[in-house]
Each structure stands twice: as structure tokens, then as C-alpha cells.
Amino acid sequence: MTLRLGDTAPDFEQDSSIGRLKFHEWAGDSWVVLFSHPADFTPVCTTELGLTAKLKPEFDKRNVKAIALSVDTADSHTEWIKDIEETQKTVVGFPIVADADRKVATLYDMIHPEQSATATVRSLFVIDPARKIRLQITYPLTTGRNFDEILRVIDALQLTDKHTVATPGNWKDGDDVIIPLTVQDPEVIQQKYPKGFTAPKPYLRLTPQPNK
């Protein structure tokens, strides 16, 4: 199944490290970061799940729930969590889906045969409270993810959902933003961007972040 930005994230019911889990019901009215791992008891994944656990306060501030997945069993996840917490000095406070039958991996196209015929690649989806897919990133098996970038993108998505702006390259919270080309009426510009703007080119109009 090929998923595109704006598609509804497929629902599923599957075992997990916290018991039977119905995805949409579990997600509630939160944003979700759903990310897959090749296998339990692997080094790169151990560091990634430890980092995700440590970022829980940052996710909470953004109304985001994290949920991981691999094709191992729930019992395996439970044992692996002990290693993660010991080696990464944290507490894993989010579920790990036990996708032993690869149902979820198939729904989300997480198995790429040229990488592995059985293991999921490092797929990551940011899903909004309307259950729409807003971001997809796929990393190779050998490369750990940059979760600072995930937080940055969530900040940008939440900002642009509330305000008529776009974010420039390397933008981070507090930086100037861009007035979209769809906004041309001078009165509307004055109303929406009362802090004013600079325009190095007519199509490039920068304004201070509206909610700062």
C-alpha cells in the first residue's frame, strides 16, 4: 500500500508492549509519531528508543504520542525494554507494537525488499489529530534518525496549521517565517502580519513568527 501526504493513516489493532492496542483509539486527539525498527535487541534501535523516551517532555508539550514498531513479539519487546532502560538510562513510556504477522508493516509499506525481505526499514510517520499523514521519512537500516528534526517539523506543522505562514529552510521555533504567495491583498497582509515584513524579492517576504 502506497501512502501519500494527506492520506488517512490506516487504523490497526495489534499486540504491543502495553497489551492489545487499537491505533486510532489509542491516538485520541493527539499528534502521533509512528516509527518502525528492523528488530529488537539491535544497537541502532536501542539508542533511538532511548532517545525517544528521553524526549517525552518535549513530545508532551506538543501534544504528541510516540509509538514504535518491529516485527518481533510483545514478549520480546518487554525483554528488550529492560535493556533499553538499562543502557540508555531512561524509562520507555510509550508502546512498541508487536507486528509479528507484518500486518502493520504491510499497511504502511515498511518492508523494502532490497533492504530486507522480512525486517522493517526505519520508516517514520507524523500523523495529526485528524489522523492525516503529514510527514514521511524513511532511513536505511544502518542510519539512526535525528529526532531533533522530527520535533522541528512538528513545530513547523503546528505553526502553519494555526497561522497563514510557511517556514524557510533550517527554520526553528522563534525564527522569521514566510508570507505565502497566496496572500497578496495589502489589507489582509496588514491584518495577518501586524509585525510587518521584509521583502528581499517580491516573492520572498519574511515576517516575525506570529505567536512569538
DSSP-H helix ranges across the chain: 23-27, 43-54, 56-61, 74-88, 103-107, 147-162, 186-192
Only one residue has cell 522530527, namely 150
Contact criterion met (CB below 8 Å) for 171 and 163: no
Provide the pLDDT for residue 45: 93
Catalytic residue among 21, 32, 33, 45: 45
- DSSP character at residue 38: S
CA–CA distances in Å: residue 46 to residues 49, 67, 69, 77, 200: 5, 14, 13, 11, 46
pLDDT averaged over 10-residue windows placed end to end, the chain, 212 residues = 91 97 98 93 94 97 96 94 97 95 90 56 90 93 90 98 97 97 95 95 97 91
Check residue 39 and give its pLDDT.
87
pLDDT tens profile 88-120: 999 999 999 999 998 998 899 887 655 554 555
- Alpha carbon distance 166, 138 (integer Å): 23
| Model pLDDT for residues 38-62, shown as the tens digit of each residue | 889 999 999 999 999 999 999 999 9
> What's the per-residue H, E or C state across 157-206?
HHHHHHCCCECCCCCCCCCCEECCCCCCCHHHHHHHCCCCCEEEECCEEE
136 flagged as catalytic: no
The CATH classification of domain 13-144, taken from the options 3.40.50.970, 3.30.470.10, 1.10.3720.10, 3.40.30.10: 3.40.30.10
Q: What is the pLDDT of residue 116?
A: 52
Helix or strand run (H / E) with residue 116: none
Grouping H, G, I as helix, E, B as strand and the rest as coil, residue 43 is helix
> Which of 206, 176, 204, 210 lies closest to 192, judged by CA?
210
Domain boundaries, the chain: 13-144, 163-207
